[in-house]
Amino acid sequence: MKDKLIFSKEKNTDVGYTPLIFRIHNSQDYDSLKMILENAQLQIFDTIQNQLSELIRIKNPGKMFSSDEMEEAIAQHLGATEPDEYGVWVYYPWLQKLVHLVDEVEFITIRTNRNAYKISPEEQKNLRGKKIGIIGLSVGQDIAITMATERICGEMRLADFDTIELSNLNRLSVGVQELGNPKVVVAARRIAEIDPFIKVKCYTDGITEQNIDDFLTKKGKVDVLVEECDNIVVKILSRFKARSYEIPVVMDTNDKGMLDIERFDNEPARGIFHEKLPELEKLNQEELLNKLKNFTIQEKFALLTNIIGFENVSDEMKFSLSQLNHTIIGWPQIASAVHLGGAMVTDVCRKIILEKKVDSGRYFIDFNELIS
């Protein structure tokens, strides 16, 4: 059977992660769309009538429409515009799918309608202009997807140098066809498939000394930094940089439900990691960078232990760490803890962006204590 199959070792990354959006009343868009329609493999999805029906019900919440009344209301809403020309056509190159949607304002109105009034219409409008940066797309992937689903921002910047491995699938909600693809690209595509109007910028080299300022500030400063990477050097550097720009930092440690919040926006003189690294605070930027570059493995582990606090580590995690490079080869993480982190970080970031009271500190949702 093997000789009858065509195998490809190429990864599906050449088509990027940004969908193409066409408004066919624009002649250039129309010509480009006609070229895409020539693709024999293309799948087309058109539910514009159902979307308009939802929109009309949202605008008339107290009215019950009969089928004929709804058909008439949709016709009035379209006016002289043909259904095929209404809204946008969104092409996903990596899926070879073309989807007909209402345009951005109506799309957001419909998609976020059931957020009300847990998130008020005024708050939802405010969130559309916000930017969030996420470093580390293992735990961070679930955070990014939850944020996009709830739509707590209009732009995301994602940074990770790593690719999807089979052992990641114990916690990442991705299919086996994504093995070998960059984590940031996979996350960005998922976001685009949920909401093509959220702007996403991927940093596929991860965060470095050279690009961190760009990540945090280019074309507008991020409103919150979510730090979820394994690299202790990047953890430290990103906080010094975030503090210098007065950007709050949120981190989920993925153990004992620990959520770490540093409000550098309100406390620009606050010591990083809750003042647990005073020896680094004394260094200027050049000295700090030299120090970070020259950390030994032992020094990095000691720093991490000091930062997290051994008392804040579960018994299961302590044993797992004792087995690292003996009976296990990777940092232990499980799906339920990752999904909990996605929920916690999204909730806290939304509150920070909306200027609700959120204090710096460490907070725990430890199921071992809550449910005995």
**Which pLDDT score, from 0 to 100, does residue 207 have?**
97
- Residue 12, pLDDT > 70, answer no
Q: Are strands 224-227 and 199-203 parallel, antiparallel or unpaired?
A: unpaired
pLDDT at residue 14 tops 70:
no
Q: Measuring CA to CA, which residue among 362, 209, 345 is closest to residue 276?
A: 362
Going by the DSSP 8-state scheme, the letter that residue 33 receives in this structure is H
pLDDT at 190 over 50: yes
As a whole number, the mean pLDDT across the chain is: 92
CA torsion, ordered 111, 112, 113, 115, to nearest 10 deg: 140
C-beta atoms surrounding 223 within 10 Å = 20
Reported as a pLDDT band with limits 50, 70 and 90, residue 1 is: very low
- Tell me which of 322 and 74 has the higher pLDDT: 74
Query: How confident is the model over 249-286, as pLDDT tens digits?
Result: 999 998 889 999 999 999 999 999 999 999 899 888 88
**pLDDT at position 7:** 46
Mean of the pLDDT values across residues 224-249?
95
Kindly list the structural domains of the chain, giving each domain's residue range(s) and its CATH number in brackets, ordered by start: 11-111 (no CATH), 121-370 (3.40.50.720)
Q: Tokens 């209404």 — which residue? A: 86
Q: Give exposure, 61-99, as e/b (b: 16+ Cβ within 10 Å).
A: eeeeeeeeebeebbeeeeeeeeeeebbbbbbbbbbebbb
Task: Give dist(CA 83, CA 24) in Å, integer.
Answer: 11
Q: What is the 3-state secondary structure (H, E, C) of 236-251?
A: HHHHHHHHHCCCCEEE
